[in-house]
Amino acid sequence: MVMACQAQAADLEAGEKLFTRVCGGCHKVGPSARAAFGPELNGIFGRRAGSTEGYVYSPEMKASGIVWDREKLTAFVADPSEVVPGTKMRLWGISDAEKVDNLLAYLATFK
Ligand code: HEC
């Protein structure tokens, strides 16, 4: 069995490419990141869902009560509306464990 591994084992470069290709059209990260089509994703680990300034979330996201962690993010990128029914995020889900590992390791570098 492949363990859900921590940042050291993940491929950050692959994670960055994946982010840019699959998420980057709607989300920004980094020092100059701000709300775009989707909310900026700096410090997403431990962040309460629907809580960034300057972004208008769906009522469902705001009311979800989620605090983003590895498990929630993994489930969300696999199927957003399964985790937050009514969310306005539309994504052809990613469920390949290795890809998700790389992606989350990359996101975790943005505090
Ligand atoms: C087509 C545009 C689009 C794409 C592509 C997209 N998202 Fe989103 N995302 C959104 C929107 C819009 C929201 C706000 C959802 C809401 O308010 O219901 C969102 C919300 C989120 C949230 C919740 C943020 C918060 O502040 O609570 C996370 C986490 C997230 N997206 C991660 C990702 C990741 C990771 C990817 C790439 C795998 C991705 N998204 C791809 C549009 C997108």
The pLDDT tens digits of the residues spanning 42-82 come to 999 999 999 999 999 999 999 999 999 999 999 999 999 99
Closest CA to 64 of 47, 44, 48, 46: 48
pLDDT at 4: 54
Whole-number Å distance between alpha carbons of 86 and 76: 13
What's the 88 CA to ligand 1 centre distance in angstroms?
Answer: 8
pLDDT at 7: 46
The DSSP bridge partners found for residue 67 are: 48
* Tokens 């993940």, residue located: 10
- Residue 2 confidence (pLDDT) above 90: no
DSSP annotation of 79 reads -
SS3 state at 103: helix
Cβ–Cβ under 8 Å, residues 94 and 75: no
Q: Is 97 exposed, middle or buried (0-12, 13-18, 19+ CB in 10 A)?
A: middle
Which residue has the CA at smallest separation from atom 33 of ligand 1?
23
Verdict on whether the full-model pTM lies above 0.85: yes
Tell me the CA–centroid distance for residue 96 and ligand 1, in Å. 18
Provide, rounded to the nearest whole percent, the portion of the chain with pLDDT above 90: 90
Residue nearest to atom 36 of ligand 1 (CA): 23
- Name the residue at shortest CA distance from atom 18 of ligand 1: 87
Where are the strands (E) in the chain, listed by range? Answer: none
CATH code for the domain defined by 7-108:
1.10.760.10
Residue ranges of domains in the chain: 7-108
Query: What pLDDT was estimated at residue 75?
Result: 98
